[in-house]
Amino acid sequence: MGVGSEPQFAYCRRIVTIAIALITVIDDIYDVYGTLDELELFTAAVERWDIHYWLGLIQAGLVEAKWYHSKYTPTLGEFLENGLVSVAGPIVTMSAYLSGTNPIIQKELEFLESNPDFVHWSCKIFRLQDDLGTSSDEIQRGDVPKSIQCYMHETGASEEVAREHIKDMMRQMWRKVNAYRADKDSPVSQNTVDFMLNLVRMSHFMYLHGDGHGAQNQETMDVASTWLFQPIPLEDKHMAFTAPKADEFPECSFS
């Protein structure tokens, strides 16, 4: 619903939901349940399918598993270059495009497959917001260091300082994404740009107060219930939706 809420994107929502459900299972296998030997066998099996976008996600998961099992802490730069793929932003964007665009345009498809700057920066924001909400719980259960821990290890900073640094990085990345959005000569349609931006915006909500995806807190469930099941009373003169505070989403372009 966050990626494409308009009525004409019903099929897109179905496909993206299926993709995210499958991605979540695969992510848990790599992060929690699989041994390194099992993960290498699974990755090799998928590589034989020769499916480019899905394969990138699998390979990124294996990289993180190897880091974890070898007790290696990557630099923040290393982590982000791999993490923008492992967070599944590119594959969700591609799923949204293929299921929500009619007709599919070869030039646009090739552009998205080239991992352009717009997708690159958007997926990094997605990765960082995910880490801000989930890394504490994931580290406790046993998982690879995330961006916060990588920065702490690299610089000796405290967790508080590291979190502020990550937030500042996201602000800078949002400025780059917004500049691209304003480009009138973009090689992709506005719908395609919106799919990507909406995914990143949704991550700010989903991971604002912890992990609203993997561990559905009551606040997240209440909002979803409101969206889906509670009618908006027409006689109510007040707005039924309270906009996010500006300091919670400083660069997200909600207008």
Flag residues of the chain having pLDDT under 50: 239-243, 254-255
Cα–Cα distance measured from residue 176 to residue 189, given in angstroms and rounded to the nearest whole number? 18
Smallest Cα–Cα separation from 186: which of 15, 178, 64?
178
- Supply the pLDDT for residue 45: 92
- Supply the pLDDT for residue 187: 86
**Regarding the domain delimited by 7-214, which CATH topology (the fold level of the hierarchy) does it fall under?**
Farnesyl Diphosphate Synthase (1.10.600)
- Supply the pLDDT for residue 148: 94
Q: What is the DSSP letter of 103?
A: S
95 neighbors 60 (Cβ within 8 angstroms): no
Smallest Cα–Cα separation from 125: which of 47, 186, 181?
181
132 neighbors 148 (Cβ within 8 angstroms): yes
- Supply the pLDDT for residue 145: 86
- Supply the pLDDT for residue 215: 67
Other CB atoms within a 10 A radius of the CB of residue 159 amount to 13
Cα–Cα distance measured from residue 241 to residue 45, given in angstroms and rounded to the nearest whole number? 47
- Supply the pLDDT for residue 250: 53
- Supply the pLDDT for residue 240: 47
Retrieve residue 25's tokens: 């299972």
- Supply the pLDDT for residue 91: 92
